[in-house]
Amino acid sequence: NAGVTQTPKFRVLKTGQSMTLLCAQDMNHEYMYWYRQDPGMGLRLIHYSVGEGTTAKGEVPDGYNVSRLKKQNFLLGLESAAPSQTSVYFCASSRPRPSEQYFGPGTRLTVT
């Protein structure tokens, strides 16, 4: 099993460009999450999903959109990238409570 995978691993964008980050999990987990990690800030939740076709906002959702058309995939979109979105993005998945979250390897995004 691959667990949680993220595509791409690195990306550089110019301000105003758009992109989509892909997260895939092969553990048949119901729940999926997108976090961003910034120096000294820990991990902050952007959006999450409790099942196929459902999404909800987390702590820092502005500037991002998500979709979960298939149970195993969770996409994070940036419609118009800004330098403040320079960060490391982590996807995670989990079973319903009680359960720990399993994380992907991360995507390092730089917006210039």
Partner 1 sequence: AQKVTQAQTEISVVEKEDVTLDCVYETRDTTYYLFWYKQPPSGELVFLIRRNSFDEQNEISGRYSWNFQKSTSSFNFTITASQVVDSAVYFCALSDPQGGSEKLVFGKGTKLTVNP
Indicate whether 27 belongs to the interface with partner 1 (CB under 8 A): no
SS3 of residue 99 by DSSP: coil
* CB of residue 15 to partner 1, shortest distance in Å: 25
Among 48, 64, 74, 89, binds partner 1 (CB under 8 A): 48
Indicate whether 106 belongs to the interface with partner 1 (CB under 8 A): yes
Q: Which two tokens stand for residue 110?
A: 């730089």
For 84, phi then psi, to 5°, come to -65, -10
Maximum CA extent, the chain: 41
Indicate whether 61 belongs to the interface with partner 1 (CB under 8 A): no
* CB of residue 100 to partner 1, shortest distance in Å: 5
Indicate whether 56 belongs to the interface with partner 1 (CB under 8 A): yes
Indicate whether 58 belongs to the interface with partner 1 (CB under 8 A): yes
DSSP 23-90: EEESS--SEEEEEEEETTTEEEEEEEEEETTEEEE-SS-TT-EEE-SSTTEEEEEESS--GGG-EEEE
- Applying CB under 8 A, the residues found at the interface with partner 1 are 31, 33, 40-45, 48-50, 56, 58, 88, 90, 92, 94, 96-103, 105-106
